[in-house]
Amino acid sequence: MKKFWLPALLFAAVLALVLNCGETTTGPGEAAGYFLGAEACRQCHSTAYKDAIKTAHFNTFVDDPENPYDFVSIWKADGRPEYCLQCHTTGWDPGKGNHGADEVEYRKGLLGVQCEACHGPGSEHVKGGGDAAKITLSYDAGVCGACHTGDHNPTYGEWEESEHADALNGLKSSSHPQDNCLECHSADYWYDRTVTLASAQYGITCATCHFAHGSNFEHHLREEGERLCSLCHTDEGARPPSAPHHTQDEMLAGIGGYEWPQGGPYLNSDHTYVVEERCKKCHMYAKPFEEGKPAIKGHTWKPRIEPCRECHPGANSFNIGGAQRRIERLLEELEAKLERQRNKQAQDYIYAKFDYDFVENDGSYGVHNYKYARQLLEDSIEFYEPSGDDERPYGVARGR
């Protein structure tokens, strides 16, 4: 079937359709019972309802060729394949009597991806007077992955390949895991600040970046795209002697490194000024489905060379003009000098080590801001000289 995917459905929008949510519970917290329709939810959750009905999810069964959310006219033209209805209605499950959309008498009230498509059938929740234990609430990316998958919309499969998917495991297996790191490593922590390393269940899932009930930003994002990335990909104002982590936002802006007073000038590459939607453009390259060629949704967040070719025709790697290799050599040179330092509390050692970490932890080896990265490293190499244990410690002024 030729799909016409709605703009918001191009991305892993939060809490998409849950399949197989029938009469029996299949795991902790999953709802049992049958479907009631969004109007039943509206009685107690009016704000969420008012927000959700404006989203693409609620409008996945529109029959209007002039409407950007149109589905039905295209579906009819393709022969009305039944499998499409699993992700365009609520409760579609021919194998169970769950009062879902597949049962004709309930179909009209269960068109589109409604509340219960994500939260499970609500009958027991309502009977229990709003008992939260009798409705599904999950930040698992698999909820979205039930529909956001396959050649037309491979968002979930891409996410599984990403470092976001492994963010929590990566933190727990690191040498310095702390509860406050969960803000950038756990979806459940975003919604419940009592979550700890011991209780956290999920890495960076769809629900970390997208709001199921819609937002004022494109694709249900919780923030404007580049601002959203910078919430975690930042060193949060780190200064010597602390270590800078995740320095991508500062590197792109050309700020945050230790700028040697006797060095510089500290200039920025064109990426700082010219490239719009910098994070998305390079790390979320997307391409629509073509017959025999799966779509690309950009949810591995691995940079692609295609956007670079707009300004660098014929580029086959990110080492354009040898820039990445030069940064690597400078890092190697500075690292060798740092390893010769005996007194790790020496002032200039801490400054040089800060710049080394700043560039290394950016991870792009100059792609984000080649001029700034190069100057930080060259000045650290020039103005830092390893010395013995008699060197004055960090914080003690030295004349030059």
- Residue 248 corresponds to which tokens in the numbers above? 């991508």
56 — phi, psi (to 5°)?
Answer: -65, -30
- Between 221 and 387, name the one with better pLDDT: 221
pLDDT at site 212:
87
pLDDT exceeds cutoff 80 at 92: yes
Say what the pLDDT of residue 31 is: 56
Asked if 311 and 367 touch (Cβ cutoff 8 Å), the reply is no
User: Average of pLDDT values for 160-181?
Assistant: 95
- Average confidence (pLDDT) over 250-275: 95
pLDDT of 26 strictly over 70:
no
- The pLDDT tens digits of the residues spanning 8-25 come to 333 333 333 333 333 333
28-69: per-residue pLDDT in tens? 334 579 999 999 999 999 999 999 999 999 999 999 999 888
In angstroms, the first-to-last Cα distance of the chain is 73
- pTM summary value: 0.84
What confidence tens digit (pLDDT) does each residue in 62-90 have? 999 998 889 999 999 999 999 999 999 99
Domain ranges of the chain: 248-274+311-383
The residue-averaged pLDDT of 167-172 equals 96
